[in-house]
Structure 1
Amino acid sequence: MPKTDYFRDPAAPQANSLTPVVNVAIRDGQRRLLLIRRSDDGYWALPGGFMDPGERIAAAAVREVKEETGLDIQVTGIVGLYTDPEHVTAYDDGEVHQQCTVCFQAEIVGGETGETAEATTVAYIAEGDLAGLRIHPVMRLRIGHALTENQSPFIG
């Protein structure tokens, strides 16, 4: 379903629903961050997506990473909680979501990366290479927090 993301846009529609979402930050032995290039909008992002009814939020993180990357993970911590009402996503069916996102830290326990229906590219990206990538501003915030060592989880 086509969507439009709004961030700090005075012309954005009002949210009419609150949606639980997960993102997952996974770093490799070289401290690079696992990102996907989304197939729906071409943005680079941390793997993640919507939590399903009847699902625990950490289980949603495990499922979404598997669906988007092919990897099996174990959640190890929390990067932050993101609830900015100035970030809404409008869908063509009239739904306008404000996200309540938990961004987790995780480690890989199995699986193999590969292109999926939701990700045209799955790659580990060095911190110095992030500036040149097309990344939504709210995702840049989450990535920045994920790259900061020994920090309490962000609440915002």
Structure 2
Amino acid sequence: MTRTDYVNDPLAPKPNSIVPAVSVIVRDEADRVLLIHRTDNDLWTIPGGAMEPGESVRQAAVRETSEETGYDVEITGQVGIYTDPNHIVAYSDGEVRSQFSICLTGVVVGGQARTSSESSEVVWQPLDQLDALNIHPSIRLRITHMLDTSRTEPWLS
């Protein structure tokens, strides 16, 4: 299944669903961020995905990170809640979602890098080299918010 993201695009299809999702920014001691290369839209991103029935936000974040990267993580904080109505995600099966994502921070506590059906590559990218990768603006915004040390509260949109 393919995925197309639209941001502030008047030609974007109308959403037909809202699915709570999580994403996780994982950093290491070398000040690198854990990224995956998505198989559905060829973009680089942080791990994340839809919550499943019966899961907490924390459980979904840990599961999604493990599924997409092979790493086990411990959740350490919250970056923000992202609900921009002008960010639409359209899937090839006809589902068109309004954005609803809770972005958390985490640290690796086990596992090892491996790809999945959703990730063709798993890398630790130095923060000063993020511009070299094709990353969606909504993910860049989350990383920017995480790095903003002047913030005292999680982002809320």
Matched with 2:120 is 120
Residue pairs, 1:83-98, within 5 angstroms: 83-98=83-98
| Superposed CA offset, 1:22-61 (max 9, x none) | 1101110011111111122110101001111121111000
| Superposed CA offset, 1:93-129 (max 9, x none) | 3321012100001111110112222111111111211
Residue pairs, 1:1-156, within 5 angstroms: 1-149=1-149, 151=151, 152-156=153-157
Maintained 8 Å contact 2:38/2:118: yes
Unmatched runs of 5 consecutive residues or more in structure 1 = none
* TM-score normalised over the length of structure 2: 0.94
**Which whole-Å CA distance do the structure 2 matches of 1:28 and 1:87 have between them?**
29
* TM-score normalised over the length of structure 1: 0.94
**Which whole-Å CA distance do the structure 2 matches of 1:34 and 1:114 have between them?**
12
Maintained 8 Å contact 2:3/2:40: no
Aligned residues: 156
The amino acid of 1:19's aligned partner reads V
The amino acid of 1:59's aligned partner reads Q
Q: What SS does structure 1 have at the residue aligned with 2:66?
A: helix
Unmatched runs of 5 consecutive residues or more in structure 2 = none
Of 76-85 and 124-133, deviating more is: 124-133
**Which whole-Å CA distance do the structure 1 matches of 2:101 and 2:110 have between them?**
25
Shift of 1:150: 5.6
Percent sequence identity is 47
Q: What SS does structure 2 have at the residue aligned with 1:23?
A: strand
CA-based RMSD: 1.3
